[in-house]
């Protein structure tokens, strides 16, 4: 990493260190900024392309999927598209969504208002979710960052699989874009978030086979550098996982400077690499 980037990150650390604390995003603000971020990224389509390959052309091609569990389901936008991809190969799906954010659960339910899929939702943490149902596919989509620990949730998720089922975790690596969120996270919770290497380490200790695929993607952060642009504020809020409107102006400037240092210019747009790793665990597989 170039020295100027080190200097910028050191400045962020210094300014964060001067604060007593930083509140995490509220449920409402998280939901709003998450959708803003995803709309600026091409990662959702790339994840769907990966699911199409995984379900239709890979090892799962001859294994029907009818029951699916989405842990940390969010607002349901991706879940609807994912189960539609699965349904092209297996027919209508029974989807169960679990999320502790009531704002997300309401949006999740609404996303399936007119569909042939059977859907139910649980508003609460995965640790409190109870069901005798076994699932052909269980997935965590960009949510394990927020878990206090990840080993037991991953074990519990694998235990909910039906015979021949698969556990899928889509989790970002701790790359250049995530360094800002990670710094703020440590200030908020006194620990780093969990990233794809952490997930891989846990899965490696479980009885089964794990495969890992890097999905490359990009997010357009141009609005972050337009003074007074509300969409840019929402983008930055999600990137750093804090309401930047409540932060000292100098810290906000420092966060934007650090973000700018990792941008790639495409015409009049600024974008940042935004990859995700797809980890697939199959219990008992050699």
Domains and CATH numbers, the chain: 23-173+191-218+267-281 (3.40.50.150)
pLDDT tens digit at each of 286 positions of the chain = 445 778 899 999 999 999 998 998 998 898 899 889 999 999 999 999 999 999 987 666 567 899 999 999 988 889 999 999 999 988 999 999 999 988 788 888 888 887 889 999 999 999 999 999 999 999 999 999 989 999 999 999 999 999 999 999 999 999 999 989 999 988 988 888 899 999 999 999 999 999 999 999 999 999 999 998 999 999 999 999 999 999 999 999 999 999 999 999 999 999 999 999 999 999 986 6
DSSP labels, 164-177: EEEEEEEE--S-TT
Contacts for 263-272 with beta carbons within 8 Å, 24 or more apart?
A: 263/221, 264/218, 268/222, 269/220, 269/222, 270/220, 270/221, 270/222, 270/224, 270/225, 271/218, 271/219, 271/220, 271/221, 271/222, 272/176, 272/177, 272/218, 272/219, 272/221
pTM to 2 decimal places: 0.90
SS3 content of the chain, % helix, strand, coil (to 5): 45, 20, 30
CA-only gyration radius of the chain, Å: 19
């Amino acid at each position: 990493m170039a020295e100027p980037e080190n200097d910028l990150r050191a400045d962020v650390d210094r300014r964060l260190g001067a604060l007593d604390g930083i509140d995490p995003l509220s449920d409402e603000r998280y939901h709003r900024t998450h959708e803003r971020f995803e709309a600026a990224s091409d990662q959702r389509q790339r994840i769907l392309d990966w699911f199409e390959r995984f379900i239709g052309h890979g090892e799962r091609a001859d294994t029907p999927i009818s029951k699916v569990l989405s842990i940390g389901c969010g607002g349901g936008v991706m879940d609807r598209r994912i189960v539609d991809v699965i349904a092209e190969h297996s027919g209508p799906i029974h989807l169960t969504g679990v999320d502790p954010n009531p704002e997300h659960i309401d949006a999740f339910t609404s996303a399936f208002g007119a569909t042939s899929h059977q859907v139910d939702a649980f508003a609460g943490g995965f640790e409190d979710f109870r069901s005798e149902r076994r699932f052909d596919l269980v997935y965590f989509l960009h949510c394990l960052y927020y878990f206090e620990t990840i080993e037991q949730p991953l074990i519990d998720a694998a235990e909910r699989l039906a015979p021949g089922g698969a556990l899928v975790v889509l989790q970002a690596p701790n790359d250049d874009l995530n360094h800002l969120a990670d710094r703020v996270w440590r200030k908020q919770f006194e620990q780093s978030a969990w990233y794809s290497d952490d997930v891989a380490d846990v899965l490696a200790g479980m009885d089964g086979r794990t495969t890992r695929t890097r999905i490359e993607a990009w997010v357009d952060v141009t609005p972050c550098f337009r003074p007074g642009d509300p969409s840019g504020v929402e983008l930055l809020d999600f990137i750093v996982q804090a309401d930047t409107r409540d932060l000292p102006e100098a810290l906000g400037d420092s966060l934007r400077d650090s973000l700018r240092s990792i941008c790639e210019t495409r015409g009049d747009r600024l974008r940042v690499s935004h990859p995700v790793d797809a980890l697939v665990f199959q219990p008992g597989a050699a």
